[in-house]
Structure 1
């Protein structure tokens, strides 16, 4: 509206915003052995969204809206976030919002988020995995997503997800799809009630029937280290 255009947006000075949200120069990969492994993705993204909320609340709301959350919309939220971040952190929050944030620190925070969200590759027991760290709206450490890279031509795909939802605790899921078969293993730090377990199996079977594929669902406890893809969740928790 015309009246709105005549009123300049009141933005706190960059030094006050930096002091409030702890902006500091993000280390370049050569300065930190952990740079690029995504371990700081969650804190960096939360800091970016808090700053963006101060500068442009509407843009911040849109960015938060595409973050995956641990509820019935998780799959759709994850797909939306991965699609939105295909153009990097700037592509996710939009060019205008990125320009406003870059004006505060020369783009250091956005650059740090770019590195934290970037996929990396790791070899475990002779197999290469593509790892991505995805922030969750309702999780402390975000989601670790690992896709197994097969040697040579293959229609087999293995996906591992690991997260710590606040209500469930550590959760790990491994799904292997090959041809017309999908096998899923779900491991939880806490057990499920028998009614919830039965409903889970029923829902899984119905989904397979709808897709006209075969497969099994296995639900069990966590134990040991999970494929060595990430630091253990605790001394006695792993896949």
Structure 2
């Protein structure tokens, strides 16, 4: 304990702390398998972190996907949630500040809500995780196809429902030095946007020195059924 500051550098407002402890589930609480609790828990965690360290909170929010931009590095949350958990996503300093408040209960609850689950679809096993979307009540569904261990192929599926576009599904398959991407949307893209998308994809492949194709098409009959609430209201 010697030399350690026992009082957090920034103390959250009492009403914020009270709201957290009143709403936070107990360690024994069961998080639903479909991950619906992930969004509220992550937002509560970020609000508390913002009161402790606005800089750390801004960095953490930057790792959440947005509906109005490409996902890109936002998948850091998904990747760390399957490996180092929320502590790996937030970083040691930010995680320590939150742990000082409640012994890490909120971080543990977020880990459980973000934990991957496995689901068979169309004769194939998928590892699923939900990532809350920034400033949205919806979530990004991330699915990784589980291969037999002998294949070098990796398939990633992202599914979301941005308000302006409707349901969107992106499937990317990497096999060796080849990347094939299929983007399916409920709404069509303007010809200029579609041409720009293809050109950007070709440029990205050239930079990485790999081959591949980009296919853009309608969503009809393409949804994998990984997320029943999303698939049930798609009638194209």
TM-score of the aligned structures, taking structure 2 as reference length: 0.79
CA contact (8 A) 1:225 1:238 kept: no
CA RMSD in angstroms comes to: 3.1
Where does structure 1 lack aligned partners over 5 or more consecutive residues?
Answer: 1-7
Alignment partner, residue 4 of structure 2: none
- Cα deviation, 1:20-46, whole Å, max 9, x if unaligned, reads 7862224646x45x24x4332222111
Aligned partners of 2:91 and 2:185: how far apart in 1? 37
Aligned position for 1:185:
182
Are the aligned partners of 1:26 and 1:111 in contact in 2 as well (CA < 8 Å)? Answer: no
Answer yes or no: is 1:111 the counterpart of 2:113: no
TM-score w.r.t. length of structure 1 = 0.78
**Superposed counterparts of 1:126-145, under 5 Å:** 126-145=123-142
- For residue 225 of structure 1, report the CA deviation from its aligned partner: 7.3
CA contact (8 A) 1:171 1:189 kept: yes
Matches within 5 A, 1:61-140: 61-70=58-67, 74-78=71-75, 80-82=76-78, 85=81, 86-140=83-137
- For each residue in 1:175-203, what CA deviation from the matched residue of structure 2 results, as whole angstroms up to 9, or x when unmatched? 12223332211111222111111211222
Q: Which runs of 5+ in 2 are unaligned?
A: 1-8
CA contact (8 A) 1:226 1:232 kept: no
| Superposed displacement of residue 88, structure 1 | 1.5
* In 1, Cα distance between equivalents of 2:206 and 2:16: 57
Kept after mapping to 1: 8 A contact 2:11/2:51: no
Structure 2 counterpart of 1:216: 213
